[in-house]
Amino acid sequence: DAKTTQPNSMESNEEEPVHLPCNHSTISGTDYIHWYRQLPSQGPEYVIHGLTSNVNNRMASLAIAEDRKSSTLILHRATLRDAAVYYCIPGGTASKLTFGTGTRLQVTL
Amino acid sequence: DTGVSQNPRHKITKRGQNVTFRCDPISEHNRLYWYRQTLGQGPEFLTYFQNEAQLEKSRLLSDRFSAERPKGSFSTLEIQRTEQGDSAMYLCASSQLGQLEAFFGQGTRLTVV
């Protein structure tokens, strides 16, 4: 499994964009980059995934570096409900997700 | 569909007792996974099923742990002779074969006293 490095924590003000970085320099050529988040007292929740191109969905955008060794999850306007632990997970299909310790995002008014 | 359902949500047991947790996946999902999460850590993979076949087991799954998925529908995770180190959140997830998105339940929090 590819090793990932994420900041332990980040803070954002509400209504501002948030960029959550992830380094995955040992990612294999066929691995997708998955992002999940876990709200307090909840199970993890899928956010987005990508392979090579940048991706957008209703929750977030994913920017993938050209060499695929890093990616950035972008929340365009953070809300209090976005406060969670965000996990970056390189891997294949969802047969086995290898979670790290993630980034704890705090959102303040 | 109400998503992945796990029961019970909380379980307190005495050391040495056996416990069993249940997971009901999203109905059309043929893959089912179990994870364990301790405080401050990300979830750790335990095992997964494709339909009724258990295809992979982590080394974390000691011989005191057993998981089943009869008929490829719901799954149970049993822990025999519980130890204090088994205290954790046990998470179940399901997905459709070929889909990249896994759906998680809210977990069963086990406390061994």
HSE at residue B3, side-chain half, CA atoms within 13 A, is 14
A3 band by pLDDT with thresholds 50, 70 and 90: confident
A39 touches chain B (CB under 8 A): no
Question: For residues B60 and A66, which has the higher predicted lDDT (pLDDT)?
Answer: A66
3-state helix, strand, coil in chain B (%, to 5): 5, 50, 45
Among A103, A98, A93, which residue's Cα sits nearest to residue B44?
A98
Confidence band, pLDDT 50/70/90 cuts, at residue A83: very high
R_g of chain A, CA atoms, integer Å: 13
Q: Residue B56 has what pLDDT?
A: 92
Mean pLDDT of chain A: 94
Burial class, B100, CB count within 10 angstroms (exposed 0-12 / middle 13-18 / buried 19+): middle
Contacts of B102 in chain A (CB under 8 A): 46, 94, 97
Mean of the pLDDT values across residues B5-10?
A: 97
* Option in B4, B98, B100 nearest A32 (CB): B100
Among B31, B95, B106, whose Cβ lies nearest the Cβ of A42? B106
Inform me whether the pLDDT recorded for A95 exceeds 80. Answer: no
What confidence tens digit (pLDDT) does each residue in B29-88 have?
Answer: 999 999 999 999 999 999 999 999 999 999 988 999 999 999 889 999 999 999 999 999
Residue B50 to residue B109: CA distance in whole angstroms: 25
How far is the C-alpha of A108 from the C-alpha of B21, rounded, in Å? 37
- Residue B37 bridge partners (DSSP): B89
Q: What integer pLDDT is reported at residue B1 of this predicted model?
A: 55
Q: Is A46 on the interface with B (CB under 8 A)?
A: yes
φ, ψ (nearest 5 deg) of residue B84: -60, -30
- Looking at CA atoms only, how far is residue B41 from chain A in angstroms? 5
Q: For testing the chain B interface, which of A5, A8, A58, A99 should be mutated: the one with the most B CBs within 10 Å?
A: A99
Categorize the per-residue pLDDT at A94 as very low, low, confident or very high, splitting at 50, 70 and 90: low
Residue range A15-63, pLDDT digits in tens = 999 999 999 999 988 899 999 999 999 999 999 999 999 999 999 999 9
* Per-residue pLDDT band at A89 (split at 50, 70, 90): very high
Interface test with B, best of A3, A37, A93, A104 (most B CBs within 10 A): A93
Put simply, the answer to whether B107 touches A93 (Cβ < 8 Å) is: no
